[in-house]
Amino acid sequence: MSQKKPEVLVVEDTEENIDILVDILSNDYNLSVAIDGLTALESVKDIHPDLILLDVMMPGISGYEVCKRIKEDPVFQHIPVIFLTALSSDIDESKGLDLGAVDYITKPFNPALLKSRVKNHLELKQYQNVLEDMVSQKTHALILTQEATIQSMAILAEYRDPDTGGHIQRTKNYMKLVAEYLHNNECPNYVIAKEEVLLMAQMAPLHDIGKVGVPDSILLKPGKLTGEEFEIMKMHSCYGGDAIARVQSLLGETSFLEIAHDIARSHHERWNGSGYPDRLKEHDIPLSARIMALADLYDALSTKRPYKEAMSHDEVSKIIIDSIGSHIDPMLGMIFKELNLKFLDISLTYQ
């Protein structure tokens, strides 16, 4: 099967030069011709050329302006542009290269030199495409590895507590719901980047990973815990934070597990400083952990456990609203008021 010829767009207003370029290049490339700047911009959109040969001095907008507009468009900015022009000063060449062109050939041009440069730049672009594909594949593989790591750690907690599976799915989606709200709305001191929304949702399943260190007699006890037992149960936040911190030390401080560590260690901290294990207060508590505290509280109250019945959505909402400023971050409490019916939808979906 013959390989498809690369698409080359020739932008030139002189018929004689067009004929020369067609004669030089037509055997090796599929050529399209535009005789002015505006037509060239339309042709770029229509044919998505692999390379553009661009004159500078043309009727209407100049070749410099055409190049500038192409390089400002994320869809087409990767297309190599070679200027073909009678302007031969160093200033003209520098201007063309500064606009993003890959080469600058002055007229009258040497046919063999022109053909060689077109070939070289197309091969270079093909090589760059291969590298970009390799990077994309490696990035995808890294994401899959991260997700597999998170899921395998979360499954450990599920093995210890049969109720954990549904709890993980619900709290993960509560977390994502609030994080997306903060990303899409301007809330001073509560700025969340788009990639952080995904990370928070991905890391949420690890918030109770420390429960693997809690004895079965306490973790699975059907009745209310004694004071001593509750102190042991509270250690799960330390166990989880420490375990993730040890993995972090291998991957580096900026690893994807940083949010997971904050959530695992600090999701039982309270806005007024009465939580555990570090008695952090207000904005000293990581934002991801404050969101998880809201998600965890809603789920703990709204689901049935061996030692208690589930509360209705209205009952849970009242308790959460009453805890704003003590247990729950006031800003997140206001957001809960707005999103509470969506919390209910998630709860019903993952019952």
Task: Look at residues 118, 133, 148 and tell me which one is the last residue of a structural domain.
Answer: 133
Q: Please check whether residue 331 lies inside any domain of the structure.
A: yes
Task: Look at residues 114, 133, 152 and tell me which one is the last residue of a structural domain.
Answer: 133
Q: 307 vs 344, which has greater pLDDT? A: 344
Same domain, 103 and 168: no
- What pLDDT does 285 receive? 97
Residue 11 dihedral angles phi and psi, to the nearest 5° = -115, 105
Same domain, 266 and 123: no
Compute the average pLDDT of residues 202-206.
87
Q: Cα(294)–Cα(208) distance, rounded to whole angstroms?
A: 14
Note the pLDDT tens digit of each residue in 123-142.
Answer: 888 888 777 777 777 767 76
Note the pLDDT tens digit of each residue in 5-22.
Answer: 899 999 998 888 899 999
Same domain, 116 and 246: no
Same domain, 101 and 185: no
Asked if the model's pLDDT at residue 306 lies above 60, the reply is yes
Range of weakest confidence among 64-78, 218-232, 240-254: 240-254
Q: Please check whether residue 264 lies inside any domain of the structure.
A: yes
Long-range CB contacts (within 8 A, 24+) of 12-15: 12/53, 12/55, 12/58, 12/84, 13/55, 13/58, 13/59, 14/55
Compute the average pLDDT of residues 192-196.
89
Q: Cα(199)–Cα(213) distance, rounded to whole angstroms?
A: 25
Which domain CATH number covers 266?
A: 1.10.3210.10
Same domain, 306 and 196: yes
- What pLDDT does 252 receive? 67
Tokens of 202: 């991905």
Smallest CA-to-CA distance from 176 within 351, 339, 303, 348 is with: 339
In which band, very low, low, confident or very high, does the pLDDT at 263 lie, cut at 50, 70 and 90? very high
Same domain, 113 and 244: no
- What pLDDT does 1 receive? 46
How far, CA to CA in Å, does 145 sit from each of 191, 273, 288?
27, 36, 22
Q: Cα(238)–Cα(232) distance, rounded to whole angstroms?
A: 11
Compute the average pLDDT of residues 256-284.
94
Which domain CATH number covers 86?
A: 3.40.50.2300
In which band, very low, low, confident or very high, does the pLDDT at 311 lie, cut at 50, 70 and 90? very high
Say if CB 135 and CB 129 are below 8 A apart: no
Please count the structural domains in the chain. Answer: 2
Q: Cα(81)–Cα(98) distance, rounded to whole angstroms?
A: 12
Range of weakest confidence among 123-127, 156-160, 256-260: 156-160
Same domain, 186 and 326: yes
Compute the average pLDDT of residues 274-289.
96
Same domain, 250 and 341: yes
Q: Please check whether residue 146 lies inside any domain of the structure.
A: no
Strands of the sheet containing 81-85, edge to edge, are 30-34, 7-11, 51-55, 81-85, 103-106
Q: 262 vs 57, which has greater pLDDT? A: 262
Q: Please check whether residue 21 lies inside any domain of the structure.
A: yes
Same domain, 37 and 112: yes
Q: Please check whether residue 26 lies inside any domain of the structure.
A: yes
Q: Between the ranges 69-78, 179-188, 296-305, 324-333, where is the mean pLDDT highest?
A: 324-333
Same domain, 197 and 286: yes
- What pLDDT does 164 receive? 59
Same domain, 90 and 227: no
Q: What average pLDDT is seen over the chain?
A: 87
Q: Please check whether residue 140 lies inside any domain of the structure.
A: no
Same domain, 173 and 107: no
Beta-carbon neighbour count of residue 155 at 10 Å?
14
The bridge status of strand 30-34 relative to strand 7-11 is parallel
Cα end-to-end distance, the chain, whole Å: 56
Q: Cα(133)–Cα(107) distance, rounded to whole angstroms?
A: 36
Q: Please check whether residue 1 lies inside any domain of the structure.
A: no
Q: 90 lies in which domain range?
A: 7-133
Task: Look at residues 89, 117, 133 and tell me which one is the last residue of a structural domain.
Answer: 133
Q: Please check whether residue 147 lies inside any domain of the structure.
A: no
